Amino acid sequence: MPKHIVTMPRSVGMKLDIVSYGRRGPGGTIWLNAEQVEQVKRTVSRVPEVMVKVSGGARDRGGAKAHLKYIGRHGKLEIETDDGRSVQGRDVADDLVTDWQLDLCRSQYKPKPAEGEKDTRAKLVHNIVLSMPAGTPPEKVLVASRIFVRENFALQYRYAMVLHTDQAHPHVHLVVKCEHETTPGKRLYIRKDTLRQWREQFAALMREQGVPANATPRQIRGQVKGTRKDPIHHRLRAVRAFQDLPDSQRAARRPPPRSTFMRRKVEAVGKALQAGRLPPEPGRAGLAATRAQVEADWTKTAETLRRQGHEALARQVAQFTASMPPVRTELERIAAGLLEALKARGRNPEPDPQDRPQNRSR
């Protein structure tokens, strides 16, 4: 199967083993270069993190058209294309699908699988989101996104992009054609390492716009949070947004439907707490091992910084490591939330210490 390799000249890698990217000096001593030291500063200072994610894709013409209509808000927003145009209107999605010649793409005419069967058709387009935290100037997100798509896709893969500002965090939606324009059989494959490199690149582009931005894996920052399918995530976000509204606005709106998925989980955790303990979770050992490795890497990083004369930054690294939240599985986070809610109501929900979920990795 052909592979597509994306080169990212702007980025400096930083995986779990933070120190491993330093160069070895005389005697095998590891040293961090200036850019790596700046990366450490941004991380321990908790500079806002960028987000780059693949939000889905389409395996047929209809799916691609539907998403193009969605990002253009059915003709209300301008869509920027790879050929430098800004187009708007209800017919734009149809025009782009035709212009991109999606009908000629591989697997376009393979039959759609029956319900429950795996869809093995090749993707026609990738849906990608570039996002920054609330308060970031939207126009700077758009400028950085334009450079990002030009460097990664221009003259290779057709694309369309739209800036959305209807939520607190400004973000750009991309629809990128999977098949290469000039090399038959060459396709855009997006892997985990590709996304990591894209995050680092997008963060660097935001910094060029004068916006503090960082891109480090969640584990390095001490965050352990399971991923949810997009519909669940959007439902929970809508509920939280409704709860954050002023009372006057909440009274005038209909509350969004709550997630039945999360309600069932919370109810199951509540019953487990009443029974005396949470069920064992096989993934917890892996989370604890990852945290132990992260803490060991940060300790090595602090030692390296001291050798290089960055004593103040080394102390900041030690404080950052010590302040990492405890390792908790999703069930343990739900349990902690339930116990806090009960405490707030004046009850005494404290379980026996031996029955409490073990939250620390050490």
Closest C-alpha among 1, 88, 57 to residue 177: 57
pLDDT at 324 (0 to 100): 93
pLDDT at 288 (0 to 100): 87
Residue 177 near residue 158 (C-beta atoms within 8 A): yes
pLDDT at 12 (0 to 100): 37
CA 5 to CA 185: how far, in whole Å?
14
CA 203 to CA 50: how far, in whole Å?
6
Angle among Cα 47, 50, 53 to the nearest 5 degrees reads: 155
Q: Is 211 left (phi over 0), alpha (psi -120 to 50) or beta?
A: beta
Q: Which residues of the chain have pLDDT under 70?
A: 1-29, 107, 224-245, 248-250, 256-259, 261-262, 265, 346-362
pLDDT at 284 (0 to 100): 81
CA 348 to CA 327: how far, in whole Å?
24
Q: What is the pTM of this model?
A: 0.76
CA 299 to CA 95: how far, in whole Å?
55
Give me the domains of the chain, ranges plus CATH numbers.
47-109+120-208 (3.30.930.30)
CA 289 to CA 294: how far, in whole Å?
9
